[in-house]
Chains A and B, each alone.
Chain A
């Protein structure tokens, strides 16, 4: 069960958009619409920001959006703000083998 592949880093200026990819296989990302995304600030527990590919929990700004095509899911952060600087992880359900996380992406707000 290999980790989903994410770019190590992404960056953008305030107000710009950044998109993070999350590539899996036909056994996880490609097989189920159960991709979720988590934001983690240093020293803190992860926080759910997207579930079921594109749904936002209550309280998460609509600047965060998700999508999926084939074996690749994506998270877009629009209108970047300073507080968006954090690590982001995707996660996918993988059937009988359980769940698998992405390798993580550090987002820097320039």
Chain B
């Protein structure tokens, strides 16, 4: 299984942006997609989008289109998720997770990154 290591906790002010990284241990970018999922305190899981290893690179959830951007750095086996125009409702733990291409499930998860939005 691919091991995923995410960047550390962040504190941001309302209106700012945050960029969370997800580094894969054995990621060749040819067989795995990376998904981003968040969980607000005391709430359920919410899918933000996918960065695909091939083809059309990104698909974003409707609720986040225009605010989320997913990119990758092949040289460091790292995928990034940037969320802009932050509000208090964006306070959550953000997870990255792998999907073996066209498997349609998430088999490895990062440890999570807490993003706190507070003035």
On whether the beta carbons of B49 and A46 are closer than 8 Å, the reply is no
Interface with B: A13-21, A68-76, A77-85, A101-109, which one? A101-109
Query: Within the complex, which residue of A45, A51, A101 is in contact with B47, where a contact is CB–CB below 8 Å?
Result: A101
Q: What is the size category of the interface that chain B forms with chain A? A: 20 to 34
Chain B residues with Cβ under 8 A from A57's Cβ? Answer: 107
List 19 additional contacts besides A36-B106, A98-B49; criterion CB under 8 Å: A1-B63, A36-B104, A38-B45, A38-B106, A45-B95, A45-B111, A46-B106, A52-B105, A89-B44, A97-B62, A98-B47, A98-B50, A99-B35, A99-B104, A100-B47, A101-B37, A101-B45, A104-B44, A104-B45
A98-B110 contact in complex given A46-B95, A51-B103, A104-B45, C-beta closer than 8 Å = no
Which residues of chain A have a CB within 8 Å of any CB of chain B? 1, 3, 32, 34, 36, 38, 40, 45-48, 51-52, 57, 87, 89, 91, 93, 96-104
**Contacting residues of chain B (54-109) with chain A, CB-CB under 8 angstroms:** 59-63, 95, 97, 103-107, 109
On whether the beta carbons of B105 and A98 are closer than 8 Å, the reply is no
Which residues of chain B have a CB within 8 Å of any CB of chain A? 35, 37, 44-47, 49-50, 59-63, 95, 97, 103-107, 109-112
On whether the beta carbons of A101 and B49 are closer than 8 Å, the reply is no
Specify the chain B residue showing the minimal Cβ separation from A90: B45
Q: How far is the CA of A107 from the CA of B110 in the complex (A)?
A: 24
Q: How far is the CA of A15 from the CA of B21 in the complex (A)?
A: 42
